[in-house]
Each structure stands twice: as C-alpha cells, then as structure tokens.
Structure 1
Amino acid sequence: MSLRVAVAAPFIQSGTRQLQENEFVVALSLDRDWFSPDQAKRLIDVATREGLLERSDGALAATFDPADVTVPEEFVPDEDLLRERSAFERVLDALVAEGMEKHEAVGAINALQGELGVTIETAAVVYARRQGLEVDDLAPVARSAIVDGDGDGDDGNPA
C-alpha cells in the first residue's frame, strides 16, 4: 500500500497521470525529500516491475488513478519500498488495500498453504483469487516458486 502512495504522490502533486521521469524524481527527492535521486530512480524500477508505472520514451504513466489514493500528511515512505517484494508480500499488500486486516490475511494464507501443501506465494495467489482480487500478474511468480522450489510447500518464508 505504501508503495502505491509513494508512487501516487508526484502525480497528485502535478494533477496528472503522466510525468517525465526527471519530474517524478524531482518530486520525490527535492520537493518531498523522501528519497535521494538514485533511490527515486530505484523506486521507478520497482513500481514498473510491480505494474504501478509504465515507461515510454522518458515518460512515466500511472497504471492506476492517483486521485483515488490519499497521501496522509505525516506519510514518509520506508526505504523497504526500494527492494523487490515477494509475491506473498505483494498479495498481502493488495489484500490489506482492499480492507482486510493483515493478521487475518496472513492466518488465512498460512492455513491454505498447509491445506494445499504449496509455497506461501502460491497460497497467497490462490487465496487472493478466492477473495475476488485480480492477481494474474503474480501467478507466474508463484508458479516459478513451485517449479524452482523443492516441492515440499515449505519455502522457509515466515508469514
């Protein structure tokens, strides 16, 4: 959720759904003082991989409506946003964004993982789909966790 907020802030500030990359970097680094310019560029990479931004000829377009996002006045994004998140973390964020309590979602995903004997990523994707969430972009990530994993359903990822 906070990744979406951090990405939305420059668009909200400009009142648009498209910005030049340098405008986005300036908004996050100089205007808001949330990140260094290099970190802001890293955020663009992470947000692009997670489907929140699309790049085209030096421009960035939000794939969601930034106007639907509220940036709390006291909000300061954590540097953890700059690291690649697992499919489990991404699904969990999506569930929380839809109003589900984090501890309830984790418990339900863990129970489903035990029931199905699959990785936590796979259980998260299945659970989200059962809740009516669109997570098709994460299904290949979960599938690769099964194919690349040892097949015992325990990926050692604490949930």
Structure 2
Amino acid sequence: MSLRVAVAAPFIQHGSRRLEENEFVVALSLDRDWFSPDQAKRLIDIATEEGLLDRTDDGLAATFEPGEVTIPEDFDPDEDLLRKRSAFERVLDSLVAEGMEKHEAVGAINTLQGELGLTIEAAAVVYARREGIDVDDLAPVAREAVLDTEGD
C-alpha cells in the first residue's frame, strides 16, 4: 500500500500525527525528493479523499497510526499515486495491506463477481467484508457503481 507509506513518511520523520501542510510538502519534495511541491499537494488531496488524512485548522492529521507503517529502504513512490484510484484498487490495496497476495485477491474477486453478477467494485467490497477487512467507506462507491450499471 504505497500511498499509505508515502503519506506516513512525513509524519514518521517529524514524529507526529499532525503536521502543517507546508511541513508535509517539504518532507516529500525537498527532504525525500519523491515529488515536486505541486505533486506533494496533489498527494494531500488524494490522501484526503481516500481517508488517510484530515485537513484541520492547524494543518493535516493522519487518520491512521504512521508509526505502524514500515518504509522500505528502496521505497520510491510511483507517480500513479497521484491519480484517483477506483474503489476496486482501494479495496485491493486494503487486502494486500492485510497480507493477502495480490493475484489471489484479484482471482477471488473475479470469481465472486462472476458468481454474484456484480460490478468489480461491489464484488471487491463483498469479498473484503467476507475476509473481515473494514471497507465500509467504500461501500457507497460500490453501491453507486451498481446503480450506474443498472441504468445502462
């Protein structure tokens, strides 16, 4: 779950769960040289949309425990982090973060999709719930995908 790793890095560096936005941007752009300042700001937007960050009056707050995230030595985030991810991709990241092999999760979700006749997003949410993984924040997105499909 490289988005979580990239978001956690500035908090780990500063030993805090709260940072001013400029501290976060400097940590990712100047200190680590992972992103340009504009890209780091885009990462804030993506992480906020995905529930990893909260914007507060005094800056940014991590919604997870950054200290529990391990940053691999050779970690170099891909620019794909800067694009909005589908509900399927987000659920898949949650499954992988819980220790499931990516290819196994994709196969199981595809099987479930075929068995239940659901969209890939809905099948991913159902599968994650069956595995005991909390993806309640993505259920409305999956529901919307089902409703959009019914209208076609």
TM-score normalised by structure 2 residue count: 0.97
Q: Partner letter of residue 83 of structure 2?
A: R
Q: Partner letter of residue 74 of structure 1?
A: D
| Counterpart Cα distance in 2 of 1:100 and 1:7 | 22
For residues 78-109 of structure 1, the C-alpha deviation after alignment (integer angstroms, 9 at most, x for no partner) is 00000000000000000000000001000000
Match of 1:62 in 2: 62
Superposition pairs of residues 1-159 of structure 1, within 5 angstroms? 1-150=1-150
Unaligned runs of 5+ in 2: none
For residues 14-57 of structure 1, the C-alpha deviation after alignment (integer angstroms, 9 at most, x for no partner) is 00000000000000000000000000000000000000000012
| Counterpart Cα distance in 1 of 2:62 and 2:148 | 32
Identity %: 81
Q: Partner letter of residue 137 of structure 2?
A: D
| Counterpart Cα distance in 1 of 2:37 and 2:126 | 37
SS in 2 for 1:134: coil
How many correspondences in the alignment? 152
Q: Partner letter of residue 145 of structure 1?
A: A
SS in 2 for 1:60: strand
| Counterpart Cα distance in 1 of 2:150 and 2:42 | 31
SS in 1 for 2:85: coil
**Deviation at residue 151 of structure 1 after TM alignment:** 6.4
Q: Partner letter of residue 11 of structure 1?
A: F
Match of 1:157 in 2: none
**Deviation at residue 70 of structure 1 after TM alignment:** 0.5
| Counterpart Cα distance in 1 of 2:89 and 2:22 | 29
**Deviation at residue 110 of structure 1 after TM alignment:** 0.1
TM-score normalised by structure 1 residue count: 0.93
Unaligned runs of 5+ in 1: 153-159
**Structure 1 pair 65–106 and aligned structure 2 pair: CA distance change class (3 A):** same
SS in 2 for 1:149: helix
SS in 1 for 2:61: strand
